[in-house]
Structure 1
Amino acid sequence: MSLVPKNNAITESQDAVQDGNPLFPVFLKLNQLHTVLVGAGNIGLEKLTAILSNSAQAKVTIIAEQISTQVYDLAARFPQVTVLQKTFAEDDLKGANLVVVATGNESLNNYIREVAHQHNLLINVADKPSLCDFYLGSIVQKGDLKIAISTNGKSPTVAKRLKEVLNDNLPQELDTTLQQMSQLRETLSGDFASKVKKLNEVTSILVEPKADISVRKNFNWLIWCSIIASLAITITAFWLKNPDFQSFVQTISPTFYYFLAAGFVFAMIDGAIGMSYGVTSTTFSLTMGIPPATASMGVHLSEIMSNGIAGWMHYRMGNVNWRLFKLLLIPGIIGAVLGAYILSSLEHYSMYTKPVVSLYTLILGCVIFSKAFKGKRKRADKKIKRISLLGFGGGFIDAVGGGGWGSIVLSSLIAGGRNARFSLGTVKLSRFFIAMMSSLTFITMLSHGNHWEAVAGMIIGSALASPIAAKVSNQISTKAIMVSVAVIVILISLYSIEKFIVKIL
């Protein structure tokens, strides 16, 4: 079959292209090809290093009369690499897909090229562009992102310098962006055009001018400041102009304001680090003299709305594993209702249940402290199997201790090899139903008038903080907050336990 174009327009277009770089970039799956490398000196070592650094599973056969120690050492680390100390022969190309030559012997180079073309094989000859069918360009790699640089054989030095510039200026976090975009792509439905439109919307921030981003952020802050200022002005106006409003505010117990502030602060912390709302709120409530059951009820009531919104958002984004959701939901609700029932039944024995819950918060405080200093954990080889048992235990402990569903269930799923994004979405959505059922159990079991001012203050405070927490979370050191929270929780828990010990002695 002739490769000469019959269309004159195409021929003219191709001729015009030849004025520039005519190379066509491709990315080869070297793990599925057999590469023959002839030469095992310094240049051969360089070529072998380039091949294996880009594809650790590449099958390579090295042929040379003299083989350097460095080549032997590198090849020994890769079982699929074969080293043959011999003179090159034509039969060495049987079963090969690519040929790379690094001999420095011009006559041998020409002979290998001739033989390779007789076998319809592509060949690269080191430092001989005229003998090459393809070039090994400079490579910049950030995880799954790989950029190849070609100067059409004109200047390897320029390619090397460009590689250094890109390596220094492209952040390693680009690989995280790629993984997230890949996961998002898997969740999209519809035709190709709708998928492209959605991906364009998500990635528009990457090309948005910095000035526009700054203006948008400042405008968002202006909106929030305006809302807060409006509320302050309204409350001040009522206070100054309406005596009935003053009388109403003065009749509210100071406990309401304490818990309003506490709920706001704890929700801000939770928004910054994604955990600890339950343990901090429960620890504070116990210290303020609130019985464990009422403290847990306040925590769960204040979490219904926040988890409902978060769960709905994850549902809209396709971040829910429905099989995992079903396995967690029913056992989690049973465990939460049972825990709430037992804790409510022991309300009259709160003097004895308080130290138990304080011990639990002490343990969680230590867990938070350890997580602050731990590096990123490696993904487990096997996924956790007993999901239903995990849901039941997480729901029960969460109800009894006023928190722990996220720290127990979510961390266990991720540590067990589950996808972090789907685990988070599933746990958040299931948490909404579990918090709602445990709250209903607490309300049914507990008598009226049980510290409702504290419960109301915590609910309103956390609700006010929820939309603001996301705005400030990126400005605070997560490690510093986790350490601070852990220290506070540990100290308060120890103080509560100490008070119990002093009472019984």
Structure 2
Amino acid sequence: MTLLPKDSNIAKVQNQDTGGNQLFPVFLKLNDLHTVLVGGGHVGLEKLTAILNNSTQAKVTVISREFLPEVHELASQYEGLTIVQKSFADDDLNDAEVVIAATNDSDLNKYIRQAAHDRKLLINVADKPELCDFYLASIVQKGNLKLAISTNGKSPTIAKRLKEVLNESIPDELDTTLQQMSELRNTLTGDFADKVKTLNKVTSILVEPKVTVNKNFIWLIWSTIIISIAVVIAALYYREPQFKSFVEGVPPQFYYFLGAGFLFALIDGAIGMSYGVTSTTFSLSMGIPPASASMGVHLSEIMSCGIAGWMHYRMGNINWKLFKLLVIPGIIGAVTGAYLLSSLEHYSQYTKPVVSLYTLILGLVILSKAFNVKRKRSADKVKRISLLGLGGGFIDAVGGGGWGSIVLSTLIAGGRSPRFSLGTVKLSRFFVAIMGSLTFISMVSSDHWPAVAGLILGSALASPIAARISNKISTKTIMVSVGIIVILVSIKSIISFITKVL
């Protein structure tokens, strides 16, 4: 008698638990197989869409006595799809390699299953797990990465929910990593063991243990720092006459804009937009001319976006390809817009209502986005990134804000990862703000430097915190509040201008 070794594969199989999900996952090359789908109604359409979404060149024959218009529309778009309007017959499976029964007639579905089994074909029967030889899984796809989710036919709803979670959690940029790993593998030499060692070395950073710090401890540190600064300032104010005289000599406008800059930067960190439009709206309401207001916003964003961009860089939230497509056109647009607005500084009484109208529109945009936060993103990514950066930079400079509202929201709506989009837009905004600010400084003689200094310091203080609180606060609540405030203040400014004219 021959004894099997303890680590034998056969021994392992024999000792395995026979419970749980016993399905064996496979990925079929439907582009090379002939699939016959019986059923042209809603269920058939759902199955057909799932096939074509994953295999655009799949060879599929759909058989049914009636078809939904959407099925005919798909037939006009996909060359491999053929529709046959007739009743099902056994002979329809003679050339089939995969069969799907998706009719609303249970007896017909059973008949199709028997015909498939007579021909040794695998079949999926809609909504009848016990009749299926295989299931159609919920699919998560990021470029070349594809994950199939199975609940063993117990709950398709759970599979769909998991699909939504994974679609949001896995960044689109992971496909770039796969491409790079493939290119690296092709350059490796040596035997299999050497290649494995090299790949393990490259990917080791992904599984290195990270030191975790208690969140309460982090908040304790920040609270201690803030309280310590407050105590020092209070002690200096009450015990040092020179410091007290200095503080009292600072124009109140500085303190107003210090608090406003801090608050607006926190809001911007939470929702990824609105710093420019809120700061500009506030500045206009405080009597700052449009060019000076936009200059203050851009100068303050140099430091705040620089800090935020660095924080996102450290957290790995930058898509460098996207960054390159945004930054140069964004700079060109910002410089052009800053030059145009600065040239009209002497006509600020006329440009101010125009800018207020723009902030009113942005306020409406922010408010509308608040009620569409969970809107399904488009499957087609934005293609003209450079044109988006050019327009965003120009409008942002002219209106004192809009880079986040325009560029970031467009990228996310176009299907890009919110986390990578936010980090990339923040970092590119740093360079756009530098060039826009230099243009404003060279052309505008402003008497509102206390306001500018307040915005700069306030936003800089908030930036390290803002970069870490993104998606930590109720986005909808903040966006609704910001949208309403911007709309009301902009309307007030427009009404004041109309009143003066009349």
TM-score bucket (shorter structure): 0.7 to 0.9
Residue from 368, 372, 375 that aligns with 1:374: 372
The answer to whether the 8 A contact 1:59-1:81 is kept is no
The answer to whether the 8 A contact 1:61-1:82 is kept is yes
Q: In structure 1, what is the equivalent of residue 168 of structure 2?
A: 176
**Which stretches in structure 1 are left out of the alignment for 5+ residues?**
1-5, 151-158, 206-211
C-alpha separation in 2, matches of 1:342 and 1:34: 62
Q: CA 1:311–1:186 in structure 2 vs 1: closer, same or farther (change >3 Å)?
A: farther
Which amino acid is the alignment partner of residue 147 of structure 1?
I
The answer to whether the 8 A contact 1:35-1:99 is kept is yes
Deviation at 1:34, TM superposition (A): 3.3
Deviation at 1:200, TM superposition (A): 3.2
Deviation at 1:485, TM superposition (A): 1.1
Between stretches 27-36 and 427-436, larger displacement belongs to 27-36
Q: In structure 1, what is the equivalent of residue 207 of structure 2?
A: 200
C-alpha separation in 1, matches of 2:62 and 2:344: 76
C-alpha separation in 2, matches of 1:419 and 1:166: 23
Find the residue that maps to 2:150 and give its secondary structure: strand
Count of residue pairs brought into register by the alignment = 458
Between stretches 439-448 and 362-371, larger displacement belongs to 439-448
Residue from 456, 461, 464 that aligns with 1:464: 461
1:351 aligns with 2:335: no
**Which stretches in structure 2 are left out of the alignment for 5+ residues?**
75-80, 185-197
C-alpha separation in 1, matches of 2:395 and 2:215: 40
The answer to whether the 8 A contact 1:60-1:82 is kept is no
1:112-151 equivalent positions in 2, closer than 5 A = 116=120, 135-136=133-134, 145-148=147-150
Deviation at 1:239, TM superposition (A): 2.1
1:478 aligns with 2:475: yes
Q: Deviations over 1:20-78 (max 9, x none)?
A: 449672323263433579xx89xxx9x98997686456766799xxx9x8xx7699948
Q: Deviations over 1:148-177 (max 9, x none)?
A: 356xxxxxxxx63xx479559858323321
The answer to whether the 8 A contact 2:367-2:484 is kept is yes
Q: In structure 2, what is the equivalent of residue 284 of structure 1?
A: 282
**TM-score w.r.t. length of structure 2:** 0.72
Q: Deviations over 1:256-301 (max 9, x none)?
A: 1111111111111111111111111111111111222221111111
Q: In structure 1, what is the equivalent of residue 246 of structure 2?
A: 248
**TM-score w.r.t. length of structure 1:** 0.72
The answer to whether the 8 A contact 2:331-2:393 is kept is yes
Q: In structure 1, what is the equivalent of residue 333 of structure 2?
A: 335
C-alpha separation in 2, matches of 1:256 and 1:111: 82
C-alpha separation in 1, matches of 2:116 and 2:161: 40
Which amino acid is the alignment partner of residue 239 of structure 1?
Y
The answer to whether the 8 A contact 1:383-1:416 is kept is yes
The answer to whether the 8 A contact 1:61-1:83 is kept is no
Q: Deviations over 1:187-234 (max 9, x none)?
A: 8767532454344359x89xxxxxx8xx72212211211111111121
Between stretches 249-258 and 6-15, larger displacement belongs to 6-15
The answer to whether the 8 A contact 2:139-2:163 is kept is no
C-alpha separation in 2, matches of 1:299 and 1:476: 24
Find the residue that maps to 2:279 and give its secondary structure: helix
C-alpha separation in 2, matches of 1:400 and 1:494: 19
Which amino acid is the alignment partner of residue 252 of structure 2?
P
1:386-465 equivalent positions in 2, closer than 5 A = 387-388=386-387, 390-412=388-410, 424-447=422-445, 450-465=447-462
Q: CA 1:52–1:7 in structure 2 vs 1: closer, same or farther (change >3 Å)?
A: farther
Which amino acid is the alignment partner of residue 193 of structure 1?
N
Q: In structure 2, what is the equivalent of residue 504 of structure 1?
A: 501
Aligned-pair identity in percent equals 53
Find the residue that maps to 2:497 and give its secondary structure: helix
Q: CA 1:59–1:338 in structure 2 vs 1: closer, same or farther (change >3 Å)?
A: closer
Q: CA 1:10–1:362 in structure 2 vs 1: closer, same or farther (change >3 Å)?
A: same
Residue from 5, 9, 12 that aligns with 2:5: 9
Q: Deviations over 1:326-351 (max 9, x none)?
A: 55444433332333234334333322
Q: CA 1:457–1:26 in structure 2 vs 1: closer, same or farther (change >3 Å)?
A: same
The answer to whether the 8 A contact 1:321-1:423 is kept is no
The answer to whether the 8 A contact 1:34-1:96 is kept is yes
Find the residue that maps to 2:30 and give its secondary structure: helix
Q: CA 1:422–1:88 in structure 2 vs 1: closer, same or farther (change >3 Å)?
A: same
What is the RMSD of the two structures over their aligned residues, measured on CA atoms?
4.8
C-alpha separation in 1, matches of 2:480 and 2:309: 28
Find the residue that maps to 1:173 and give its secondary structure: helix
Q: CA 1:333–1:185 in structure 2 vs 1: closer, same or farther (change >3 Å)?
A: closer
Q: In structure 2, what is the equivalent of residue 18 of structure 1?
A: 14
Q: Deviations over 1:225-247 (max 9, x none)?
A: 11111111211222233222112
Q: CA 1:59–1:9 in structure 2 vs 1: closer, same or farther (change >3 Å)?
A: farther
Deviation at 1:357, TM superposition (A): 1.7
Q: CA 1:188–1:243 in structure 2 vs 1: closer, same or farther (change >3 Å)?
A: farther
Q: Deviations over 1:417-474 (max 9, x none)?
A: 77766655554333222211121222233336x1211111111111111222345444
C-alpha separation in 2, matches of 1:171 and 1:454: 49
The answer to whether the 8 A contact 2:308-2:464 is kept is no
Find the residue that maps to 1:31 and give its secondary structure: coil
Deviation at 1:16, TM superposition (A): 5.2
Q: CA 1:173–1:474 in structure 2 vs 1: closer, same or farther (change >3 Å)?
A: same
Q: CA 1:51–1:282 in structure 2 vs 1: closer, same or farther (change >3 Å)?
A: closer
C-alpha separation in 2, matches of 1:76 and 1:313: 47
C-alpha separation in 2, matches of 1:194 and 1:498: 65
The answer to whether the 8 A contact 1:137-1:149 is kept is no
Q: In structure 2, what is the equivalent of residue 362 of structure 1?
A: 360
Find the residue that maps to 1:172 and give its secondary structure: helix
C-alpha separation in 2, matches of 1:346 and 1:112: 77
Deviation at 1:384, TM superposition (A): 4.6
Q: Which has the larger radius of gyration?
A: 1
